[in-house]
Each structure stands twice: as structure tokens, then as C-alpha cells.
Structure 1
């Protein structure tokens, strides 16, 4: 009997002490010595837009780390609250509390500037969206209102979509439909031209994450409590609910992996998780490189070869092989 328990204890110690395989990025670049307030990666993973703690904006080539554009805080709106880059259109949107600028990347020139306001006099900019054509800019506000600017004719239309801070705005369907999400716990799809609501989804808490797949047919949305859903982007039909029991451990970003049944998420801090979309189960999780407790993931993009890039608030870009992540998960 003693031998039996000794053997069992040895087995438990052997397997219990084995550490999970550490996932190592295939490439790593440090783009900034300053902490970042915001940042974005271009869709092709070649550029990084950085908003530093000094409120300067840098546009860098990731692999060469060469500077493409630098915008000094002195030429930007006071208290920059949101930035958005579109490499294909060659423009950068910069929003202050109540101002919107459109910068031309090639000529490093200010293309347009608009004043932005909500229905509440204390409302401030909280989210930016840009149409694929570049002709429409959606500006979400902290009072739940949204302003839709037509860059071509300089006209603006303002409407109320939510009752609280708008956290996400995205154009789909050739700019005909806008997806918006808010801290009021609602995700809404509505027609950009008429303002008619197509569908509305209610969450128990504020919506923290929204992501669309590559062809805008499915979207992932989660709140800051315990609800994570994959649904049809055009009708709001729920397709999968994730099995995620860590209450109050919410997601900041999400990314559909093209051609694979996976979704990648980032936590409020530095943890990445790979999920199987059909089962809603977590496949694997790991952390990006950090040197301070407050580091967060600012953006994620996927390359064609299943590599994923992440940018964190320390200015570190890392390349991750999703096939390797999946393989390690099967070995644990």
C-alpha cells in the first residue's frame, strides 16, 4: 500500500512540476523608448502608428524602424484621444477632445480639420471610424452621440445612438452599414445613410471588445463581465458563446484568424488567448513581453502566413506563429 501511494505521489510531482511550454515570438522589435498612450498596426503589418506619452505621433516602418512621419504635439489637437491610420488611403485621423484632423501621410500635411461636439456640452471624442473609400468619418462621443462627416462636401450629421461612451465604430457593406458599441452595454448595427437600426444586442455590462472577420460576415463582441459572443455581422444571430469563466477578466482586443477556426484575444493587460470558435474553448494562452505591470496590448493584425503581430504600450512589436501556438497546445 505504501509503495502504491509513493508511486502515485511521484507521478503527481513529475507531471505537476512540469512547466507549460513558453511561446517565443519569431521576430521582435522595440519601436519606442517612451510609453505609448495609443497605437495601431497597418493591415499588412509593415507600419506602426505610435502615440507617445508626450502626445507626439510617430509613423514607423516596423522592420527597418525608419521614420515615415512625425507629428509634434504642437500641431495636434489638445489632449489627443484617438488616432486612426489607413495606409491604403495614405491618411491619419487624429482626434482631440472636440477636434478632428485628417493628415496626408505622403506630404506630411494637414488635409482637413473639423470641430466635433456632442449633444452634451461636456461630451468628448471617444472613438473613430473611417469608411473604406475615405469619404466618411464616424466620430463617437462620450455622451453616446455620433457625428458622421462627409469629407468631400464638408457636411456633418449628428445623431444619438447610445446613452454612454461609444467605444467602437466600424463601417461594413461598402460603407452602407455602421457597427457601434458602447459602455451602455449595447452593440448596434445601423444604416449609415438613413440612420435606421438593423439590429441591437444587449450585454450585461459595458462592451469592451468588438472585432470583425476578414470579409465582415461575422463579428466577435464581449463585455467587461462574462459574456463573449460570435454572431452574424449582418443579422446579429448568435453563433457561438465562449466558455470563459474568469469573471471580470475582460478582453481588450480580438482577431479572427483567416482560414482557421480560431480567434485570438488580448486581456485587459498582456495575456493573449487562442480560442476555437466552434467549441468556444480556449486552446492556449501566453503573455507578450512586458517590463512593467501596466503594459497592455494596443493592437493585433494577421499576416497571410498565419503570423500575428502584436503591439504593446511599451512600443514592442512581436510576431507570433499561430500554427506553433496550436502545436504547443496539443503537447501540454
Structure 2
């Protein structure tokens, strides 16, 4: 019996498969907006609004305070099937994208403001990511062949840059819309000038980028790829400022968010697990699971509420508040 116990313990240490059990943390509140799986979803930066895009292509905007439905559009309201959503930072506009069609709605009236077809350098390219600026007047469109389009809706100016060698999965403005952070399946995360496409910093990993978080105030950047590779760096100098200490051999991060003035990183895996990390030590502070209504539930977006709680929105349409 002692021999079997020793062998079992040795295998556990070798495989690193015996991690700590998931904490049974209960959310401070939970509300499920839709009884359907979501294709995409987004929380406003101030946690006041939630946008859900269901499998049936029903697009809804909700008030997180009252849980009231503010706007709803059906699949037939769009020229093609919708896959992506993006809220402006001021909560006044909502952008949606299909494979080729961009639509922008005014959230005061619920009316369509403008729509157009996006095209990359390759005419067969399709839209792979979407981002609406703080004012809602500038749009970033990532394309499947690696190009990035920026559109100024006020001046009606379009710029197009070929910066990546694969689908652009993430793009966002920073530094008062003067710089753009983009990441793609080619393993590169770039900080570049929105005016001319000049690359300022290039961070690279071996596999496609799966999650990214940028804390502009404290100059911290987190990037992770489809394996267990990641970077925590100073966005100005490019120098490494830390490394996460994994208990297991493989960690796939779907979402990431810097909080506490860049001192803490919250990550969400491809399943239901959320982890809180101390950036200075690289050690895990705590972890728990979101509430799953289906087997494939995962976090689609997360933010911090004005009262300091972590707010998550899952692929099950569940809004949850947590003490992290």
C-alpha cells in the first residue's frame, strides 16, 4: 500500500495534474439575459450596458442596473449574418459586423446610422475583428488576411494597412486614438501609429494570440497564445515585467483584464475557470468557476464595475458580479 501511494504521488508531481481544487465561490449576483448560446457579447467599460448576440442572430442591448431590454434587432434587420459586436466607450453607439458588412447604430434612437462593406487588400478577405472608439466616430476593422482598416466617420476617411500575416483577432485604439494595438493569428501583437501604420513595438509568441490586455495608465501589456506562452511587458520599453507561475503544463487564456492599477491580472480560460494573479510575484491569488448553464460555457467579456466588483458575461448569456 505504501509503495502504491508513493508511485501515485510521484506520477502526480511528474504530470503536474494535481492542481488545487476549484474554489466554490458564489457570485454576489447573477442574471441570465437569454436562454441561448451567444456568438458574441460585450460589456460597456463602465459596466452599465451588456450586448448579447445569440445563436439565432438576435442582437440585444440591456441595462445591467435594471436588467431591462433597451434595444433589440432580429436577423432579418441585417444584410448578412452578424458575428461581432462593439460598443463605443461613451455608450452612445453600437457597431456590428458580418463577414463583410459593418453597421453602426445610435443607441439613443436605436436607428441605423451608417453601414458599408469592408474590403481588405485581398478581395476575398472577411472581417475578423471589430472595435469602436470612445466617441464612436472611429472604427478599427481587422481582416482575415492580416490587414487592418481604420475609418473616420466624421471625415469619411479610410486607411488600410497590411501589418499581419494572418487573421487579426484583436485591435483597439490607445493614446487618444493616435496608436493602435493589434494582435493576430501570426503570433504578433503590434503597437503602431494610426496615421501611417509605422510599427512602434512588436511583441511575438510562437502561436496565434488568444488573449490580450492593455493597461495604458500603467503601461502594462499582457499577451497569451494558443499554447502556454505569454508575455507581461512594459508597453513603452518592451521589457518583461513579470511571468505567471502555472500549476499545470498548459493554460489557455480566452480573456484577460488588468485591475488594481496594473497590480492584478484577471484571466478566463476557454472553459469556466477565472483566475486572479499577483503581477509582482506571478502567483495565483485565487480561482473559481463561473456559473455554467451549458457544458461549453465560457467568459466572453469582463470589466470592473464602479464599486470595484468584477463583472463577467458568459456565452450562456449570464451576467455575474464577483469579489476577486
Map of 2:54 onto structure 1: 52
Match of 2:107 in 1: 105
- Whether the aligned pair in 2 keeps the contact of 1:224 and 1:248 (CA below 8 Å) is no
Name the CA shift for 1:105/1:287 in 2 (closer, same or farther; >3 Å). same
Residue correspondences, number: 306
* Contact 1:29-1:62 within 8 A present in 2 as well: no
> Is the alpha carbon distance of 1:259 and 1:217 closer, same or farther for their aligned partners in structure 2, counting shifts above 3 Å?
closer
Max radius of gyration: which structure? 1
In structure 1, the residue matched to 2:267 is: 265
Do 1:203 and 1:223's aligned partners in 2 also have CA atoms closer than 8 Å? Answer: yes
Q: Which runs of 5+ in 2 are unaligned?
A: 1-17
* Residue in structure 1 matched with residue 29 of structure 2 by the alignment: 27
* 1:187 paired to 2:189: yes
Shift of 1:246: 3.6
State whether residues 92 and 136 of structure 2, in contact with CA within 8 Å, keep that contact through their aligned partners in structure 1.
no
For structure 1, list consecutive stretches of 5 or more residues without a partner in the other structure: 1-15, 323-332
Structure 1 segments, 4+ long, off by >4 Å, are: 18-21
Shift of the alpha carbon at 1:293?
1.6
1:319 aligns with 2:315: no
Question: Residues 11-90 of structure 1: matches in 2 within 5 Å?
Answer: 21-86=23-88, 88-90=90-92
Q: CA deviation at 1:155?
A: 2.2
- 1:119 and 2:121 equivalent? yes
Q: TM-score, normalised by structure 1?
A: 0.87
Residue in structure 2 matched with residue 142 of structure 1 by the alignment: 144
Q: In structure 2, how many angstroms separate the alpha carbons of the residues matched to 1:28 and 1:83?
A: 22
Pairing partner for 2:176 from 154, 164, 174: 174
After superposition, the CA RMSD in angstroms is 1.9
C-alpha distance in structure 2 between counterparts of 1:34 and 1:99, whole Å: 24
Aligned partners of 1:159, 1:33: CA distance in 2, in Å? 40
How far the C-alpha of 1:301 sits from its partner, in A, is 0.5
Q: Deviations over 1:177-204 (max 9, x none)?
A: 0000000000111000121110111101
Q: Tell me which residue corresponds to 1:224.
A: 226
- C-alpha distance after superposition, 1:213-262 (max 9, x if no partner): 26262121111111222212234322112122544431010111124721
SS at 2:282 equivalent: coil
Confirm or deny: 8 A CA contact 1:144 1:160 kept in the other structure.
Answer: yes
**Structure ranking higher on relative contact order (CA contacts 8 Å, 6+ apart):** 2
TM normalised by structure 2 equals 0.89
Q: Deviations over 1:39-71 (max 9, x none)?
A: 011112121100011101000112422111111
Instruction: Tell me by how many angstroms 1:82 deviates.
Output: 1.1
CA contact (8 A) 2:313 2:319 kept: yes
- Report the counterpart of residue 238 of structure 1 in structure 2: 240
